[in-house]
Amino acid sequence: MISQQTIDIVKSTAPILKKNGQQITTRMYEIMFQNHPEIRGQFDMSAQGDGSQPARLATAVYAYAAQIDNLPALKSMVEKIAHRHVQTHVTPEQYPIVGESLLQAMKDVLGEAATEEVMAAWAKAYQALSQVFIHREHDIYIDEERKQVVHS
Ligand code: HEM
């Protein structure tokens, strides 16, 4: 469960994330691909080059910040992302890598606005969102395995 205080802090960052979202996610990929080059193979690198993947991630991060207290509103977004993650073989172990890179990127881009309080709230919020994806993706992976058994 996320505390009300965390919810309030994360929601208060929504406008600044809307404004700086693309810069943050572009920086995030830079950090992540530098520290974990092995992850590159999972991504369509042309969608990095033209900025469309950072834009999609920025939209998702903003939507989460704005609706963290109304998760049912994010259901169709989570579904779409989770299916894409399964297609590209994302694993639960990779979530902390994205989390670390995203938080560092927020710090780099937001500077003084990224107070300790804001960073601590986002660490908790990211953890909670990861769990939503990990659980949904687990179910989709199981469904896919079942389909393969039926068809083999
Ligand atoms: C809470 C964390 C995450 C969020 C909010 C998120 C968000 C997104 C979004 C919005 C997309 C685009 C979906 C579409 O419209 O096609 C996407 C795709 C993708 N995500 Fe994530 N993601 C997260 C975690 C991860 C993790 C841990 C990985 C592991 C490496 C990952 C790897 C990918 C890949 C490989 C794609 C496909 C990109 C492509 O087509 O080039 N994501 N994600």
* Ligand 1 contact via 88 beta carbon (within 6 Å): yes
Indicate whether 151 pLDDT > 80.
no
User: What is the per-residue pLDDT for 148?
Assistant: 84
Residue 44's pLDDT band, with cuts at 50, 70 and 90, is confident
Nearest to 66, CA basis, from 12, 6, 120: 12
- Report which protein residue has its CA nearest ligand 1's atom 10: 57
Given 62, 64, 95, 126, the catalytic residue: 95
- Give CATH for domain 4-151: 1.10.490.10
Residues in the chain: 152
The predicted-structure confidence for 96-131, as pLDDT tens digits, reads as follows 999 999 999 999 999 999 999 999 999 999 999 999
Domain boundaries, given as residue ranges, for the chain? 4-151
Q: Is 62 a catalytic residue?
A: no
User: What is the per-residue pLDDT for 12?
Assistant: 97
User: What is the per-residue pLDDT for 124?
Assistant: 98
Distance 75 CA to ligand 1 centre (A): 15
User: What is the per-residue pLDDT for 48?
Assistant: 83
Q: Is 137 a catalytic residue?
A: yes
User: What is the per-residue pLDDT for 69?
Assistant: 96
The predicted-structure confidence for 48-88, as pLDDT tens digits, reads as follows 888 899 999 999 999 999 999 999 999 999 999 999 999 99
Q: How far apart are CA 68 and CA 51, in angstroms?
A: 25
What angle is formed at CA 16 by the lines to CA 103 and CA 71, rounded to 5 degrees? Answer: 70
- Report which protein residue has its CA nearest ligand 1's atom 20: 85
Say what the pTM is: 0.95
